[in-house]
Amino acid sequence: MVDPLRSPSERPTVDREHPIGGEISDIIRGLFRRAQLTSLLGRHSSITIMAAFSFINGCLSIAIMSLAALITSQPLVFPSLGPTAFLCFFTPTSAPASPRNTIYGHAIGAAAGWASLWIFGLQHAGPALAVGVSWPRVLAAALSLGLTSGLMVLARAPHPPAGATTLIVSLGLLPHLSQLGVLMFAVGLLVLQAIIINRLAGIDYPLWAAKAVRLPVEPG
């Protein structure tokens, strides 16, 4: 039995309320209450219900960006945003899922990938999937991922999906600064969706940075 007075961070990671870990069950429960579908509350931790929510929300995330892409005639759908979307709705109160870490992480990844292209003279070389992989491309990819990892630590803004963003750029799929601006606009749309849905569900999703977690002090 889960103690409702305990905060989500204090609850067991895997239990009847959270059978796959994460906080999807909490989000579904909050949305059911918001929609006054209290008769369905007993099913909020069902694996089938959580799978259906993940399916619908994943479709919604891509649909929003695809609609914006049609309106603006810009490619706003990027592979690295898929894991970001899952993170924002699987563990929304974790630091990596916060708007701060999401925006900083992808910005760092994009900048590191673009810088690596220029360092190895690959800004006009074409995408690796089309022209093949050379030693300069290997070095650019390695440097971009290393820079992204190190800079995210220095900025205290870890966001794992940013590792995919930097490789997309350093492999030549997004070689132009204007494309990086479009990428960050798409990130902003995803963050806005995360804020709206999580807040509607009553999840304490931050508007910027996640709340600091205080570790228990061990007696001396």
- ∠ CA 201-206-210, nearest 5°, is 130
Task: Tell me which residue range forms the domain holding 134.
Answer: 8-36+44-200
pLDDT-above-90 percentage for the chain: 62
pLDDT digits (tens, 9 = 90+) for 124-178: 999 998 899 999 999 999 999 999 999 999 999 999 999 999 999 999 999 989 9
Residue 3 within a domain: no
Please state the three-class secondary structure of 156-202 as a single string: CCCCCCHHHHHHHHHCCCCCCHHHHHHHHHHHHHHHHHHHHHHHHCC
pLDDT for 72 equals 84
Binned at pLDDT 50, 70 and 90, residue 216 comes out as low
Please state the three-class secondary structure of the chain as a single string: CCCCCCCHHHCCCCCCCCCCCCCHHHHHHHHHHHCCCHHHHHHCCCHHHHHHHHHHHHHHHHHHHHHHHHHHCCCCCCCCHHHHHHHHHHCCCCHHHCHHHHHHHHHHHHHHHHHHHHHCCCCCCCCHHHHCCCHHHHHHHHHHHHHHHHHHHHCCCCCCCHHHHHHHHHCCCCCCHHHHHHHHHHHHHHHHHHHHHHHHCCCCCCCCCCCCCCCCCCCC
Residue 211 within a domain: no
What's the rounded mean pLDDT across residues 107-113?
Answer: 98
Residue 187 within a domain: yes
Structural domains of the chain, count: 1
Which has the closest alpha carbon to 52: 28, 21, 23, 76?
A: 28
Using CA atoms, how far apart are residues 200 and 171, in angstroms rounded to an integer?
Answer: 38
Residue 209 within a domain: no
pLDDT digits (tens, 9 = 90+) for 127-140: 998 899 999 999 99
pLDDT surpasses 50 at 12: no
Using CA atoms, how far apart are residues 84 and 184, in angstroms rounded to an integer?
Answer: 13
Give the phi and the psi of residue 10 in degrees, each rounded to 5: -95, -10
pLDDT for 75 equals 83
pLDDT for 112 equals 98
pLDDT-above-70 percentage for the chain: 86
Residue 219 within a domain: no
Q: Confirm if 78 and 168 have CB atoms less than 8 A apart.
A: yes
Residue 69 within a domain: yes
Residue 212 within a domain: no
Residue 132 within a domain: yes
Query: Would you say how long the chain is, in residues?
Result: 220
